[in-house]
Amino acid sequence: MSLSSLMNQFINDFSFLILAAIGLAVIFGMMKIINLAHGEFIMLGAYITTLSAQAGVPLIISIVFGAIGVGIMGYLIDRLIICRLYGRTLDSVVVTWGISMVIQQGMLIIFGPSLQGVSTPLGSVSFAGSTYSVYRILLFAISIGALFLLYLIFMKTKFGLYSRATMQNQEIARSMGVNTNRIYSMTFSIGAAFAGLTGGLYAPTMAISPTFGTGFLMQSFVTVIVGGANPLIGTSLSGGVLGIVNSILDTTWGTFFGEIGLLICAILVIRLLPLGFSGVVEKWFVRKRRM
Binders of another protein among 153-212, rule CB under 8 A? 204-209, 211-212
Quick one: which of 108, 138, 144, 178 contacts another protein (CB under 8 A)?
108
- At closest approach, how far in Å is the CB of 189 from another protein? 19
Quick one: which of 116, 168, 175, 177 contacts another protein (CB under 8 A)?
116
Q: How far is CA 105 from CA 6, 182, 209, in A?
A: 38, 30, 11
Quick one: which of 250, 277, 278, 279 contacts another protein (CB under 8 A)?
250
Looking at the Cβ atoms of 61 and 267, the one nearer to another protein is 267
Looking at the Cβ atoms of 132 and 184, the one nearer to another protein is 132
- At closest approach, how far in Å is the CB of 156 from another protein? 27
In this chain, which stretch among 67-75, 113-121, 149-157, 175-183 interacts with another protein, using CB under 8 A? 113-121
- At closest approach, how far in Å is the CB of 219 from another protein? 8
The answer to whether 127 contacts another protein (rule: CB under 8 A) is no
Q: Tell me the number of residues near another protein by CB under 8 A.
A: 87
Q: Following CA atoms 74, 106, 215, 137 in sequence, which dihedral angle do they give, to the nearest 10 degrees?
A: -60
Looking at the Cβ atoms of 101 and 152, the one nearer to another protein is 101
Quick one: which of 89, 157, 169, 179 contacts another protein (CB under 8 A)?
89
- Nearest to residue 139, comparing CAs of 13, 226, 224, 26? 13
Binders of another protein among 37-56, rule CB under 8 A? none
Looking at the Cβ atoms of 86 and 153, the one nearer to another protein is 86
Looking at the Cβ atoms of 153 and 226, the one nearer to another protein is 226
Question: Cα–Cα distance between 238 and 235 in angstroms, integer?
Answer: 5
Contacts of 73 (CB under 8 A, 6+ apart): 41, 44, 192
Question: Cα–Cα distance between 121 and 104 in angstroms, integer?
Answer: 27
The answer to whether 93 contacts another protein (rule: CB under 8 A) is yes
- At closest approach, how far in Å is the CB of 286 from another protein? 5
The answer to whether 110 contacts another protein (rule: CB under 8 A) is no
Q: Following CA atoms 220, 195, 113, 134 in sequence, which dihedral angle do they give, to the nearest 10 degrees?
A: -90
Question: Cα–Cα distance between 205 and 142 in angstroms, integer?
Answer: 15
Q: What share of the chain is helix, strand, coil (3-state, %, to 5)?
A: 80, 5, 15
Quick one: which of 76, 106, 152, 172 contacts another protein (CB under 8 A)?
106
- At closest approach, how far in Å is the CB of 148 from another protein? 23
The answer to whether 238 contacts another protein (rule: CB under 8 A) is no
At 229, which amino acid appears?
Answer: A
**How many CA atoms lie within 13 Å of 49's alpha carbon, on the beta-carbon side?**
35
Contacts of 97 (CB under 8 A, 6+ apart): 36, 37
The answer to whether 117 contacts another protein (rule: CB under 8 A) is yes
- At closest approach, how far in Å is the CB of 282 from another protein? 10
Looking at the Cβ atoms of 7 and 68, the one nearer to another protein is 7
Question: Cα–Cα distance between 44 and 38 in angstroms, integer?
Answer: 10
Identify the DSSP state of 212.
T
Question: Cα–Cα distance between 272 and 269 in angstroms, integer?
Answer: 5
